[in-house]
Amino acid sequence: MEECCSAKPKKEYQRHEGHNHDHSHKTGDQSLFRMFLPAIISFGLLLIGIVIANFIKAEWFTGWIRLVWYFIAYIPVGLPVLKEAFESIKNGDVFSEFFLMEIATVGAFAIGEYPEGVAVMLFYSIGEVFQGMAVTKAKTNIKLLLDQRPDEVAVLKNGKPETVKAEKVNIGEIIQLKSGEKLGLDGELLSETASFNTAALTGESKPDTKMKGDPVWAGMINLNTISQVKVTAAYKDSKLSKILELVQHATAQKAPTELFIRKFARIYTPIVAFLAIGITFLPYFFVESYQFRDWLYRALIFLVISCPCALVISIPLGYFGGIGAGSRNGILFKGSNFLDLLANIQHVVMDKTGTLTEGVFKVQEIHFNDEFNKKEILNLVNALESKSSHPVATAIHEYVGEVDHSLQLDNVEEIAGHGLKATVNGKQLLVGNLKLMDTFNISYDINGENIVYTLIAVAYNKKFAGYLTIADTIKADAQLAVNKLKALHVKTTMLSGDKASVVMHVANQLGIANAYGDLLPEDKVNKVKDIKARKETVAFVGDGVNDAPVIALSDVGIAMGGLGSDATIETADIVIQDDMPGKIPMAINIGKQTKKIVWQNIILAFSIKAVVLILGAGGLATMWEAVFADVGVALLAILNAVRIQRMKF
């Protein structure tokens, strides 16, 4: 019973949750009429019965005829629930909501309240269908939001476009994309330039201009001229496929609130069942004019009210909505538990490069000692940096040009937090920061503190050759992100392996009080440990690969650059697809709003149920109030839960 809210297909649901009931009711395969047909039949027969008994007042409509009539009306809505109750008992879950509803309605028949018995099951079944529709819609919205892949693509064969199934296209083949068409596979742009709508991936509808050689991804929409793309990943390995898989499994990791409600339901439901038995029989010993029928009726009302369906359906639906709201804005949550964690985040620790800055470096200055040939050294540096994927390497490559592949580099080694080392023609080549020079006892005649930009020092043949400076630019919405975090009363800290002067320069521009540079990966870990030692909940925002130790240590790991690195999607708890730091406070706000709605539903359900339970036990509530306390509250909670999917953050 407590897992009644799943939107998973039944077989998958059984495998993961150990229960066989789901609220989806395969709504994608059935028309609305077919889903409501049992309820329509029951409602029609119930209505006719009430008219015959209360308005026409036919004398023949009594005894076994009346019983059979209402029994036939009961079958369309009662039989499916009876089957679910039987399956639940078979799986060891005796006190399921289905069992409670069957006992309550069969009991109503036993005391001659046939119309009420039918009505309770009728409205319960209608509520079940609505709940199933809401869950299925939430899940479908999430999937449709992202699953923008066309089934077919135009592959160039002998210079002519030929329509082929996207899943059969091989890596290296060339796709032709017309204006307005969606790209079906990940690839590399062969055309000189092209503009794309990336809303399916990033939540941003503004055009994104790509240049020749830039990576492009499945789901992007070509906005202008015909473009050609060389496929770089199979259909099943595309970024969009990985994102879809992530979202489809996002609900597997449950939030503490969900887990609590499930545990609570396991205890709550049998207690209520035994209380109902007590309500039926205990008054015999204390009430003078004890009437078994009256107290049984009260107990049956009590059972109907006790169904915790409003809780176990609306709470997961609220988290569905939160995950969907995030997906719509280009923020992917790996589980509803991270929505809860983000809602309580007190401190956001951010990497500098690629998070708050563009990560697009450009060479600013070059200073080499006269004894070295500038062109020769630059070619050596370019060849060594080509072994790295760091943004600095890209900047140097763009400045120097094509790599001289005739240069033989041996023993290439990347030293974390320092730079690169290699052997060329038997001579040692070092490219990195001044700490790298210190490590290899290379003396230099410059003061790094006086240089604002990022400094790349070069040593060749155990002599200091000189340095380059690299500059990065702050992202357009970085300032807004920091301001919004402050408005949410969330502390901010910036950590970077970049030189301290550069880090402080960026921090001062953004108004970040706590900023630290010249950090190795283990230094970042220690800084986060210091924050956690103050009992503060921490979210770390970085690239998800180089900062893996810090992400593992933090309460929530947020990856920038979800479109740039497969490993990012694998390692982070939350992925911000368009690299916009403004999405960090947005993600926190989505978490806060989701938690707020979930607790609104908990309070609503408990409050109304508590009131009607007391009224029912005291004989002041009928089956109609009981139906409202169960189905009515569930529907109100569902309407509240789906609100988050329409919110703007």
Span 249-263, pLDDT tens digits: 655 555 666 666 667
pLDDT digits (tens, 9 = 90+) for 327-346: 778 888 888 888 989 999 99
Length of the chain: 649
The DSSP secondary-structure symbol of 353 reads: B
Least confident span in 69-83, 204-218, 372-386, 561-575: 561-575
Is residue 552's pLDDT more than 60? yes
pLDDT range class, residue 646, cuts 50, 70, 90? confident
- Distance between CA atoms of residues 612 and 619, nearest Å: 10
* 639 lies in some domain: no
Pick from 300, 284, 461: which is nearest to 377 by CA?
461
Torsion over CA: 393, 398, 401, 402 (sign): positive
If one compares 527 and 196, the residue with the highest pLDDT of the two is 527
* 365 lies in some domain: yes
Q: In whole angstroms, what separates CA 378 from the centre of its chain?
A: 45
pLDDT of residue 583: 94
If one compares 620 and 205, the residue with the highest pLDDT of the two is 620
pLDDT of residue 571: 66
Last residue of a domain, one of 473, 490, 509: 473
Least confident span in 49-58, 90-99, 406-415: 90-99
Mean pLDDT within 598-602: 89
| C-alpha angle 258-264-269 in degrees, rounded to nearest 5 | 125
Q: Average per-residue pLDDT in the chain?
A: 81
Buried b / exposed e along 75-84 (16+ C-beta atoms within 10 A): bbbbebbbeb
The DSSP secondary-structure symbol of 648 reads: -
Least confident span in 3-12, 409-418, 627-636: 3-12
Mean pLDDT within 401-429: 89
Placement of tokens 């499994």 in the chain? 249
Pick from 295, 303, 308: which is nearest to 618 by CA?
295
* 213 lies in some domain: yes
Q: Which long-range contacts (CB under 8 A, 24 or more apart) does 155-164 make?
A: 156/228
Q: Say which of 22, 208, 351, 630 is annotated catalytic.
A: 351
Query: DSSP assignment of 488-529, as one string?
Result: TT-EEEEE-SS-HHHHHHHHHHHT-SEEE-S--HHHHHHHHH
- Distance between CA atoms of residues 319 and 250, nearest Å: 10
Query: Do residues 257 and 5 touch, judged by C-beta distance below 8 A?
Result: no
Last residue of a domain, one of 206, 237, 268: 237
Active site residue 555: no
Mean pLDDT within 56-64: 88
* 647 lies in some domain: no
Query: Do residues 369 and 466 touch, judged by C-beta distance below 8 A?
Result: yes
Percentage of the chain surpassing pLDDT 90? 27
Is residue 515's pLDDT more than 80? yes
Q: 455 Cβ partners below 8 Å, 6+ apart? A: 433, 434, 448, 467, 468, 469, 470, 499
If one compares 251 and 468, the residue with the highest pLDDT of the two is 468
* 244 lies in some domain: no
pLDDT of residue 438: 93
* 164 lies in some domain: yes
If one compares 438 and 359, the residue with the highest pLDDT of the two is 438
pLDDT of residue 52: 92
Is residue 71's pLDDT more than 60? yes
pLDDT range class, residue 3, cuts 50, 70, 90? very low
Mean pLDDT within 129-144: 65
pLDDT of residue 22: 47
Q: State the residue range of the domain holding 199.
A: 152-237
Which 3-state string (H, E, C) describes 618-644? CCCCCHHHHHHHHHHHHHHHHHHHHHH
Cβ burial of 55 (10 Å; 0-12, 13-18, 19+) is exposed
pLDDT range class, residue 288, cuts 50, 70, 90? confident
Instruction: Look at the chain and report how many structural domains it folds into.
Output: 2
- Distance between CA atoms of residues 463 and 578, nearest Å: 42
pLDDT of residue 40: 92
pLDDT range class, residue 549, cuts 50, 70, 90? confident
Pick from 374, 400, 359, 548: which is nearest to 458 by CA?
374
Question: Within 10 Å of residue 192's Cβ, how many Cβ atoms?
Answer: 10
If one compares 607 and 264, the residue with the highest pLDDT of the two is 607
Domain at 159, CATH number = 2.70.150.10
Mean pLDDT within 592-604: 91
Pick from 608, 602, 417: which is nearest to 518 by CA?
417
pLDDT range class, residue 286, cuts 50, 70, 90? confident
Which strand ranges, in their side-by-side order, compose the sheet holding 152-157?
Answer: 160-165, 152-157, 174-177, 227-231, 187-189, 215-216
Give whole-number Cα distances, 365 to 293, 400, 457, 468, 634, in Å.
94, 13, 12, 6, 66
Query: Do residues 154 and 177 touch, judged by C-beta distance below 8 A?
Result: yes
Mean pLDDT within 512-537: 89
Mean pLDDT within 412-433: 90
Last residue of a domain, one of 207, 237, 267: 237
Strands 556-560 and 514-516, bridge-based pairing: unpaired
pLDDT digits (tens, 9 = 90+) for 389-408: 677 888 898 899 988 888 88
pLDDT of residue 507: 93
* 199 lies in some domain: yes
Question: Within 10 Å of residue 487's Cβ, how many Cβ atoms?
Answer: 10
Placement of tokens 């180089």 in the chain? 546
Query: Do residues 608 and 286 touch, judged by C-beta distance below 8 A?
Result: no
Domain at 406, CATH number = 3.40.1110.10
- Say what the alpha-carbon torsion angle 318, 319, 320, 326 is, to the nearest 10 degrees: 110
* 258 lies in some domain: no
